[in-house]
Amino acid sequence: MWRRKRRNQDLEREIRGHLELEEEDQRNAGVTPDEAPYAARRAFGNVNLIKEVTREMWGWTSLERLGQDLRYAVRMLRKSPVFTAVAVLSLALGIGANTAIFSLMNAVMLRSLPVQEPDRLVLFGAGKWGGITDDLPNRSWQLFSYPFYRHVQQKNQVFSGVAAMESMENDVRAVVSGNNQSEPVSARLVSGTYFSVLGVNAVTGRIFTMPKIRRPAAIRWR
């Protein structure tokens, strides 16, 4: 902006110099000294228009015009506060609703699971029922018994790995190392293949693999 101001002054000076020389010419041509400035201006043309057109050559005019438009918009909005309030409110509601819908879609459809290859992961059943196999809510394939899982896991020729998790989450209290107090945690029984199949690691502690299944381990994940 500072550079622009200097350039404007420069142009002002340039045109003033031109007018002065023109004045001299007019006087030399016999125009009276009183008349000469007017004659020079007449010969030059519309000074402000010429300045305007010249400024356009600098290439900043579009930016300047944008600024003017913005200022004008603010002025007009101030003049009618009720209209402005309604417009802002409807925009806010619209944007809010869209954001809410998108966050939901993002969470449900777009964001992938935090496992190594989510696109190769298949879930048996709907994954929303909890309970024991004998107690199927709608008698369809929703829950599977542990022996069933073992069978599938051992006879598996289709998947690179099969893992199972208990359908019910247990809220227990545990002491995380370093803390003196116990805190509520969510615990879930999972098969020994769980971590290797999902391809995830524990944040702290060690994860178990198939052979170590007999040794119980508590780990902190997530």
Partner 1 sequence: MAKEPNRVELLQGTLDMLILRTLLFGPMHGHGITKHIQRTSDDMLRVDHGSLYPALHRLERQSWIASKWQSTERGREMKFYRLTAAGRRQLLVEESKWKQLASAIARVMRPA
Contact positions vs partner 1 (CB under 8 A): 10-11, 13-15, 17-18, 20-22, 25, 42-46, 49-51, 53-54, 56-59
Secondary structure of 156-187 in HEC code, one letter for each residue: CCCCCCCCCECCCCEEEEECCCCCCCCEEEEE
Residue 54 CB, shortest distance to partner 1, in Å, is 4
CB of 1 to partner 1, least distance (A): 19
Tokens encoding 146: 């542990």
Q: Would you say 64 or 124 has its CB closer to partner 1?
A: 64
Per the CB < 8 A criterion, the answer to whether 164 and 175 are in contact is no
> Does residue 125 sit in helix, strand or coil?
coil
Minimal distance, residue 98 CB to partner 1, in Å: 44
Beta strands in the chain (DSSP E): 170-174, 183-187
- The nearer residue to partner 1, 22 or 193, going by C-beta atoms, is 22
Q: What letter does residue 113 receive in the DSSP assignment?
A: P
Pick the closer one to partner 1 by CB: 15 or 77.
15
* Minimum CB distance to partner 1 smaller for 10 or for 166: 10
DSSP reduced 3-state for 204 = strand
